[in-house]
Structure 1
Amino acid sequence: MPKKVIFSKEIVFNKAFEMFEKQGLDVITARNLGKELKASPAPIYSNYSSIDELKEELITVAKNRFMEYIKRPFTDLEYLNIGMGICVFARENKELFRSIFLREQSFTDIIRRFRDSVKAEIEKDERFTGLPVEFKDELLLDCWIFAHGYSTLIATGFVEPTDEEIKERLMAGAGTILYKRLGELKKR
């Protein structure tokens, strides 16, 4: 008779996600996860075909959680909502933010998805119609650098802003960036 499964898939996943948040994705091995569960690696393999399958599920859940934040309607300005989303995500998911953006190299896809989402918003915004692609790309990079930097300060506890303070800081930063970029565009 096969051995009875002691740990459900949910228990294994939740412990792995906890490890992922606190220590990063690289620490997740069958041996380390088994140790955290106070068991052998067997429960992992009774729920997942491989540790890579578990890691893919962890990454998918983290990406989806992040994308939910950048799609929230914090304001009536779509473009601002994206920046607010990353900052609020950093505030409400400090450990996960640090694990994704400050520790792991396997999350280039989530950064691409963020960038693509912002590009799509720029394309929908009438204020950017007719501007050169290069200008929009430079603006996007500048805004990403600002929002990511601010989010990093939030996630590391350096600042603890309210939603309103995040909005004000992003509007001031984005305004400065846009003003500078438009000035450069006029000089061309």
Structure 2
Amino acid sequence: MAPRLKFTKEQMITAALDLVRREGTAALTARSLAEALGTSTQPVFTCFGSMDEAKREVKTAAQSLFREYIKNGLDSDVPFFGVGMQYIAFAKDEPQLYRLLFLNGDGGISDAVKELGAIVREPLTRIYSLTAEEADLFFRDMWLVVHSIAALTVSGDCGYGEKEISGILTGFSVAVCKAIKEVPGFVSGTFDRNAVFARLITESPAY
């Protein structure tokens, strides 16, 4: 008969998640988790089987927390803008978890981005009157901006406050949306770049 665990699996996952939040993924070992729980390493391996399994559980828990931030963004007056701000807020509040999900080099970021894109597609098509293809392009371009700011935030190199970041996201959002709607071939990538820029620099402002 397997030994009776002193801690539930949920308690162990919470302890492991807290450890990663404080010290990063590299700090999560059987010994460090056992010390955090005040026990030996035996219950850790009884619960998880291996530390790889423990790390997978921590990543799943981090993803759940990230989704809570995204849900808060979707509940804002302008859902897509709210999602962008909450994405950056997650990086600011949980830098180690952001590294785990988006900066760990394991290729998992692709799945996370696809999931996020699917979440915001509906509000983008509804609010901005975009097709699904246009919405996906808008999301891709804006995600690159948001992710760049988030990565700078995690590294401690982002010198912009919330008001400035809000302005940056708004400016890029307007530019990308305008290009999608007004530049023929922009979505397919077949537009004449030279002609578009030549027109932009010669036209008088409309204001």
What TM-score, normalized by structure 2, do the two folds share?
A: 0.70
1:37-56 superposed matches below 5 A: 40-56=40-56
Matching residue of 2:147: 148
Q: Measure the CA separation in 2 of the matches of 1:3 and 1:138.
A: 53
* Cα-to-partner distance string for 1:97-151 (whole Å, 9 max, x where unaligned): 12221115245433222111122222332522xx4x4433322210111111111
Q: Measure the CA separation in 1 of the matches of 2:139 and 2:158.
A: 24
Q: Does 1:121 align with 2:120?
A: no
1:77-88 superposed matches below 5 A: 77-88=78-89
Percent sequence identity over matched residues?
Answer: 24
Q: Measure the CA separation in 1 of the matches of 2:60 and 2:161.
A: 28
The one-letter code of the counterpart of 2:122 is: A
Matching residue of 1:59: 59
The one-letter code of the counterpart of 1:93 is: E
* Cα-to-partner distance string for 1:40-94 (whole Å, 9 max, x where unaligned): 4312134335545433331221111111111215741111111111011111112
Q: 1:92 to 1:27 in 2, by over 3 A?
A: closer
Structure 2 residues without counterparts, runs of 5 or longer: 192-207
Q: Measure the CA separation in 2 of the matches of 1:64 and 1:9.
A: 16
Structure 1 residues without counterparts, runs of 5 or longer: none
Greater RCO, 1 or 2 (C-alpha within 8 Å, sep 6+): 1
Structure number with greater Rg is 2
| CA RMSD in angstroms, aligned pairs only | 3.3
Q: Does 1:93 align with 2:108?
A: no
Q: Does 1:76 align with 2:77?
A: yes
Q: 1:23 to 1:161 in 2, by over 3 A?
A: same
Q: Does 1:166 align with 2:165?
A: yes
Q: Measure the CA separation in 1 of the matches of 2:84 and 2:154.
A: 14
Q: Measure the CA separation in 2 of the matches of 1:186 and 1:49.
A: 54
Task: State whether residues 135 and 185 of structure 1, in contact with CA within 8 Å, keep that contact through their aligned partners in structure 2.
Answer: no
Secondary structure of 1:103's partner? coil
Q: Measure the CA separation in 1 of the matches of 2:35 and 2:105.
A: 22
The count of aligned residue pairs is 184
What TM-score, normalized by structure 1, do the two folds share?
A: 0.75
